[in-house]
Amino acid sequence: MSQSSHFLSNDKLIEVFNLTYTATAVHVGETAIIQAANDAMLRIWGKDRSIIGKSLEDALPELKGQPFIEMFRKVWLEGLVISGKDTAADIMIEGELKTFYFDFEYRAIKDNDGKTICILHTAIDVTERVLREEALEREREKAEALEREQALNEELAATVEELAATNEELVATNEELQETQETLHVLNNELELRVLERFNQLSESEKRFKTMAEGTDIFIAVGDENGNAIYFNKPWTDLTGRSANELLAFDWTSLIHPEDREQYKQAYLSALAEKKSFVGEFRILSKKGDYRWLLASAPPRFHADGSFAGYISSCVDITERKLIELERLNLSKLIEASSEFIGLVELDMSIQYLNPAAIKKLGWKSITNRTILDCVFPDDRSAAEQLLPGILHNQNFREEIRFWNEETGKPFWIEWNGFAIKNEENNEVIAMATVSPDITERKLHQEELQDINMEMAAANEELATTNEELAQTHEDLIQYVNKLADSEEKLRQAIETGRMGTWSINPKTLEISMSGFVKELLGLPIDQPAEMEAIMQAVNPDYHNMLNIALESALKNHSSSDTEYPINNLITGEEKWVRATGRVFVDQHGNATEYSGLFIDITEQKLDELRKNDFIGMVSHELKTPLTAINGFVQVLQRKAKKDEDNYAIVALDKAHSQIRKMTTMINGFLNVSRLESGKLLIEKTDFSLDELLKETIEETYISQSSHQIILNPTCEVTIHADRDKIGNVISNLISNGLKYSDNGTRIEVTCKLRDTEVEIQIKDEGIGIKPDDIDKLFERYYRVKGNHTISGFGIGLYLSAEIIERHHGKIWAESEEGKGSVFHFTLPLG
C-alpha cells in the first residue's frame, strides 16, 4: 500500500476541520469572502452554512462601521498578520445586537511568489473571562474604597482629640487678648489725634500740588499703587478735548497711537512691578484728530512709612523734534538708496561720508584714510586740484570729470557738483558736499554721435545716389506691411481654430486681459474686464495653490510656466481640462513688463490619456491571471524535472520562470503607472527602520541574482515615516537597473548618508554609464536610453520611482560618465 493512500480526502479534511474547538475560517479577496468556516466559528457568528461564499460585510452586516472589515482588506493587500487580545465586537445573535470579546488572528497565507492566496481567521471567545476580570476589578476597587474610608475615620477621631486640647489653649489666649485690647484702646485714641493732624497737613499739600499742576504747560498725571490713573491736569484736557473725569472714567491709554500703545503699557507695567522710574515716548490723539508726540517721565512716590504710593508722571510735547528726526531719517534713507555719487568731504579733503552706490562705483572696501582726490582718475587729477581750493572761498562748481574703479582700473564719467557747507552762526565754510550723477552713457553717446556725424557727412553723398532705391524700397515696404497685417489676421484665426486663446497679466497692477475664447471657456462676461476672483471660481479648488505658486514664481524669478488643470464653466457648469503656458517679458533693466501666454483647451487630449491609462490598467490586470496560471504550471514542472533529474528541463524551466518574473514586474509597473495617473496609487506611511529595509531588499535580490556582488556599505540606523513597500520598490528597481546595465562579476554598492533634515541613499554600479543627453530624461515616462534597446524594459521603472519619491517630498537624480558606471541618488525627509 502506498503512503498516499493514507491521505484524507477534502471532505474528510473539512469534517476534521469542523470538529476543532478553535473557531476557524478561511477568506479570500479584499472583501473577505468566506470560503470555509467550521462549526465553532458559525456559533460565534450566530449563522448557518448559508453564509459560505458571501463577503464578510454581507454575511454580518452589523460589522459595518467596526474595524474588522478594513483589517481583512489590509491583510489581503499587504500580506500582513493582524491579531488582538480581549477585542470587543458587536454581533447580531437571534435578532439582538450583543457585545462579545475575542482573542483573534487574521493571517495572510501566501504562495511561493509571496502573493496572498487566502486569509486564515481564528478566534477564541473570551467574553466570560473579560467580564469576570471586570467584575473582579470592580470588587477590588470597592475593597480599596472601604479601606480608605476606615483610615479616614481613624484620622477624624485623632483630630477631635487634638481640637479639645487646642480649645483649652484658646481660652487662656482669650484672657491675654482681653488685657491687650484695653491697652490698644488707649493707644488708638492717641493715634486718632495724630492722624487727624496729618490729614490736615496732606490736604493742604494736595491743594498746593494741584494749584501748581494746573498752572503749568507740562502734562501732569498721578497714578495709585495699582497703576490706575487718579488725576490729570488741565494741559491733558486741553490736548485731548476730554475732561479730567472723562479721562479717569475710561482707559485713557486707548488714545495712544496703536503702534505705540502696547510698548508704552509694557514699559509702564514693568516699572510698576519693580516700583522703579520709567521714561517713554508715545503718540496721543489730540482733539483736532491728529497725533502729538509726548515724552513721559514718571518717578515713583512713597508714603511716609516707605510704602509705595504710585507715580507722578510729567510729559512734554516733543512733536516738532520728532518730525525733524523723521525728516532726517527719511533723507538718510534716500541718500543710502540713491544711485548717484553722494559724499561729504572735510576741508583737508579727507572723506567723511560716501553713500553705498559711490563706494561700489569706486570698488572700495571703506573710506578710511581716503581723500576726494583718490576718487579722481589719475589723468584728470590736475583739473580736480584746480577746482577744489575754490570751495574754501564759497565757490561752488559743476564739472564733467572722470572718477575710476580701483578694482577694474576702468574710469567712469560723472557730473561733479561741489558746493560748500557753512556754519549757520558765522557763515564760515566747514565742509564740502558733492551730489554727482553718473553720465558715462551720455558721454559715450556723445562720442558715438561725433563718429556718427563724421560718417553721416560721408553718407550724405551716398544717400543722394540711393534716393531712387529708397523710393522703390518704400513701395516694397508698403506691400510687406499689407502682407504682415494679413499674416496677423491669419495667426489670430489659427489660434481660435486650434481652440486656443491668449491672456496677459500686468506685473505691477495684476490687471488681467483675456481673449474672447478664454472668457467664453471660463464662462466670464465677454464685454467686461476679467477679475482674478471670478477666474479662480472657475478653476478646480484642488489646483488653486498650484496656480498661486506658479504665478508667484513667474513674477519673482521671471521664469516660464506650463500648467494643466480642470475648470468648470461658470455659466453651464461643464468641466473641461485646459493648459496654460506663460512667459515673463522684461525691459532693458530687467524689470518685468508683461506676463502672458496661451490658454489651450486640452479636454479631448486629457480624456484620450485617461482612456489610454484605463485600457493599460485593464489589459495589465487581465494579463496577470493567465500569467499566474503559467507560473504555477512552470513551478509544478520544475519540481517534476528536479525529481526526474532532467537537467535540460531544469535549465529551460528556470529560464522560463525568470522570463515570467520579468513579465510580472513589467505588468505591475504598467498597473502602477495606471494607478498613478488616475490618482489611485495610495501612499500609506508607517514608521520603519531604513537600515532593515535595505538589508531585506539586498537579500531578496541575491535570491534571484547571483551574477554580481552587492555591497551594503556602513549605513545609518534611522527610523523614517514613509510607505515601506513603495520605498522598497524604489531601492529594488535602482539595484535591478544596476544589475541590468553592468557586466557579470562587477560590484553594486549601496550607501546611506544621514543629514540634519533628510537621509540620502546612493546605488552605485560599474556599468556602461549614461550619456549626458540622456541624464535629464531618465525619469520621464516610457523613456529608454538610446543605443540600449537590446536590454529589456519599457522605461517605467525610473518614472515610477521618481513619482514615489516626489510624493514623499524627496528628490531623485543620477550622476554618470560613459563607460565608468552610474550613481543613482534619492533623499527622504526625516520626521
Give the model confidence (pLDDT) of 407-436 as tens digits: 999 999 989 888 888 887 788 888 888 888
Fold of 215-323: Beta-Lactamase (3.30.450)
Parse the chain into domains and list their residue ranges. 8-125, 215-323, 346-355+362-427, 498-601, 608-673, 682-829
Confidence bin at 614 (pLDDT 50/70/90): low
Considering only CA atoms, which of 96, 131, 120, 132 is closest in space to residue 41?
Answer: 120
In this predicted structure, what is the pLDDT of residue 633?
Answer: 67
Average pLDDT for the chain = 80
Is the pLDDT assigned to residue 505 strictly greater than 70? yes
Buried b (16+ CB within 10 A) or exposed e, 774-785: beeebbeeeebb
Domain 8-125 identical in fold to domain 682-829:
no
Confidence bin at 491 (pLDDT 50/70/90): very low
Average pLDDT on 306-335 reads 81
Average pLDDT on 400-407 reads 92
Is the pLDDT assigned to residue 565 strictly greater than 70? yes
Q: How many CB atoms lie within 10 A of CB 416?
A: 25
CATH class of 498-601: alpha beta
Average pLDDT on 82-110 reads 88
Fold of 682-829: Heat Shock Protein 90 (3.30.565)
Q: Which residues does 77 contact at the CB level (< 8 Å), separation at least 6?
A: 30, 116
In this predicted structure, what is the pLDDT of residue 197?
Answer: 56
In this predicted structure, what is the pLDDT of residue 283?
Answer: 93
In this predicted structure, what is the pLDDT of residue 336?
Answer: 76
Is the pLDDT assigned to residue 813 strictly greater than 90? yes
Confidence bin at 362 (pLDDT 50/70/90): very high
Confidence bin at 404 (pLDDT 50/70/90): very high
Average pLDDT on 128-140 reads 85
Please report, for residues 195, 300, 308, 545, the alpha-carbon distance to residue 303 in angstroms, rounded to integers and kept in the order given. 14, 10, 6, 65
In this predicted structure, what is the pLDDT of residue 3?
Answer: 46
SS3 677: helix
pLDDT digits (tens, 9 = 90+) for 783-801: 666 555 444 455 577 888 8
In this predicted structure, what is the pLDDT of residue 194?
Answer: 58
Average pLDDT on 139-158 reads 75
Which of the two residues, 265 and 476, has the higher pLDDT score?
265
Which of the two residues, 114 and 335, has the higher pLDDT score?
114
Asked whether the beta carbons of 34 and 24 are under 8 A apart, the reply is no
Q: Which residues does 390 contact at the CB level (< 8 Å), separation at least 6?
A: 397
Confidence bin at 772 (pLDDT 50/70/90): confident
| Superfamily per CATH, domain 8-125 | PAS domain (3.30.450.20)
Confidence bin at 107 (pLDDT 50/70/90): very high
For residues 775 and 778, give the distance between their C-alpha atoms in angstroms, rounded to a whole number.
6
Which of the two residues, 187 and 305, has the higher pLDDT score?
305
Strand partners, 580: 563, 599
Confidence bin at 456 (pLDDT 50/70/90): low
Is the pLDDT assigned to residue 481 strictly greater than 50? no
In this predicted structure, what is the pLDDT of residue 576?
Answer: 87
Query: How is residue 675 written as a grid cell?
Result: 494607478
Confidence bin at 485 (pLDDT 50/70/90): very low
Is the pLDDT assigned to residue 156 strictly greater than 70? no
In this predicted structure, what is the pLDDT of residue 453?
Answer: 63
Confidence bin at 521 (pLDDT 50/70/90): confident
Dihedral over alpha carbons 268, 272, 276, 280 (to 10 degrees): 0
Q: Which percentage of the chain shows pLDDT scores above 90? A: 13
Q: Which percentage of the chain shows pLDDT scores above 70? A: 77
Is the pLDDT assigned to residue 2 strictly greater than 50? no
Confidence bin at 474 (pLDDT 50/70/90): very low
For residues 237 and 244, give the distance between their C-alpha atoms in angstroms, rounded to a whole number.
6
CATH among 3.30.450.20, 3.10.20.30, 2.60.40.10, 1.10.3080.10 for 346-355+362-427: 3.30.450.20
Q: Where are the alpha helices (DSSP H) in 8-126?
A: 10-19, 39-45, 56-59, 68-78
Most confidently modeled range among 173-177, 480-484, 542-546: 542-546
Give pTM, 2 decimals.
0.31
Is the pLDDT assigned to residue 674 strictly greater than 80? no
- By residue count, the chain amounts to 831
Is the pLDDT assigned to residue 478 strictly greater than 60? no
Average pLDDT on 492-497 reads 49
Average pLDDT on 153-171 reads 67
For residues 625 and 664, give the distance between their C-alpha atoms in angstroms, rounded to a whole number.
11
Considering only CA atoms, which of 4, 11, 28, 24 is closest in space to residue 76?
Answer: 28
In this predicted structure, what is the pLDDT of residue 476?
Answer: 55
In this predicted structure, what is the pLDDT of residue 726?
Answer: 84
In this predicted structure, what is the pLDDT of residue 473?
Answer: 47
In this predicted structure, what is the pLDDT of residue 645?
Answer: 80
pLDDT digits (tens, 9 = 90+) for 577-596: 888 888 888 888 888 888 88
Rg (CA), the chain: 46
In this predicted structure, what is the pLDDT of residue 34?
Answer: 92
Which of the two residues, 831 and 367, has the higher pLDDT score?
367
SS3 461: helix
Confidence bin at 812 (pLDDT 50/70/90): very high
Is the pLDDT assigned to residue 559 strictly greater than 90? no
Confidence bin at 706 (pLDDT 50/70/90): low
Query: How is residue 514 written as a grid cell?
Result: 483675456
For residues 103 and 783, give the distance between their C-alpha atoms in angstroms, rounded to a whole number.
52
